[in-house]
Amino acid sequence: MSPQPVAPSEVVDRLRAAGCVFAEDEARLLVTAAVTPADLERLVVQRTSGLPLEQVLGWVEFCGLRIIVKPRVFVPRRRTGLLVKRAAPLIRPGAVVVDLCCGTGAVGAVLLTGEPTLTLYAVDIDPSATACAKENIAPLGGTALTGDLFAPLPPGQLGRVDLVVANAPYVPTDAIARMPPEARLHEARVALDGGPDGLEVQRRLVAAAGDWLAPGGHLLVETSAGQAPHTAAIFARHGLTPRVVHSRKLDATVVTGTA
């Protein structure tokens, strides 16, 4: 027997009872997304069982774009808008840009939309992420590659990359247990875990960036306010003069460096 149609007020009540803070807004989005009452019931059950809203809907709005989100793939956060904001002015027509640890490819998609002449590579170690990134960036002309950090890039790009943007995992392993369940339970561990001090992936990517950056090329890495001095020290150790930029509005921190 198919489920009974669910009235929107009922949806709001069920979402609220499940602890959704913005129950009215979420109900509106779920009602709009559902094609049939059975569909709506399925979406409400998914959301009330704790799946992140964006994974239920299959999309998130990021810097004005609708980005496709797949199950287990990291949901782009609003704070990562700072990475985009700092990267965009550094990009020249025809530049080679790498969105490292790309997840859905949201950062690269926004940069490519702003400058369609880019050669954009989006790299992630998780094949689910690169499958999702491909859907977001291939229609814009970008390329999604699966592998560890810079390893899957074409060797011909060694020393020719103008800009690397990276929101690599930076949560210290022990802190994952204190993250909201939506992240902890529904995003891949590899998307969150930055090792004992949260800086392990950053260390490896900054160390490798020098081989790939063109002279004058830029590296931009999202980090936390508390970790920023350490991220900056890693940049300095590898010959990149660091600059820490913080946005209070977005609660976001980015370290930039030039080769």
Ligand X SMILES: C[S@@+](CC[C@H](N)C(=O)[O-])C[C@H]1O[C@@H](n2cnc3c(N)ncnc32)[C@H](O)[C@@H]1O
Question: Does residue 125 belong to the site contacting ligand X (CB under 6 A)?
Answer: yes
Q: How far apart are CA 113 and CA 98, in angstroms?
A: 15
Residue 79: burial class (beta carbons within 10 Å; 0-12, 13-18, 19+): middle
Binding part of the chain for ligand X, among 39-47, 102-110, 177-185, 224-232 by CB under 6 A, reads 102-110
Nearer to ligand X, 38 or 245 (CB): 245
CA quadruple 119, 110, 65, 187: dihedral sign: positive
Q: How far is the CB of 191 from ligand X (least distance, A)?
A: 4
Instruction: Tell me if 232 sits within 8 A of 255, measured CB to CB.
Output: yes
* Given 15, 57, 80, 121, the residue binding ligand X (CB under 6 A): 80
- Burial-class residue 154 by CB neighbours within 10 Å (0-12, 13-18, 19+): exposed
CB of 213 to ligand X, least distance (A): 17
Give me the least distance between CB of 188 and ligand X, in Å please: 6
In the window 132-191, what residues touch ligand X (CB under 6 A)? 148-149, 167-169, 188, 190-191
Minimum CB separation of residue 6 from ligand X in Å reads 31
Judge whether 222 and 170 are in contact, CB under 8 Å.
yes
DSSP state of 90: G
Q: Does 124 bind ligand X (CB under 6 A)?
A: yes
Residue of the chain from 11, 69, 129, 132 that contacts ligand X (CB under 6 A)? 129
Residue placing its CB nearer to ligand X in the complex, 80 or 224: 80
Nearer to ligand X, 6 or 87 (CB): 87
- CA 34 – CA 58 distance, rounded (Å): 12
65: contact with ligand X by CB under 6 A: no
**Residue 101 found at the interface with ligand X (CB under 6 A):** yes
Contact call for residues 116 and 137 (beta carbons, < 8 A): no
- Those residues whose C-beta lies under 8 Å from the C-beta of residue 59, and which sit 6 or more positions away, are 66, 67, 68, 69
Binders of ligand X among 2-41, rule CB under 6 A? none
DSSP state at residue 185: H
Task: Based on the shown chain and the rule CB under 6 A, indicate whether residue 74 belongs to the binding site for ligand X.
Answer: yes
Residue ranges binding ligand X (CB under 6 A): 74, 76, 80, 101-104, 106-107, 123-126, 129, 148-149, 167-169, 188, 190-191, 201
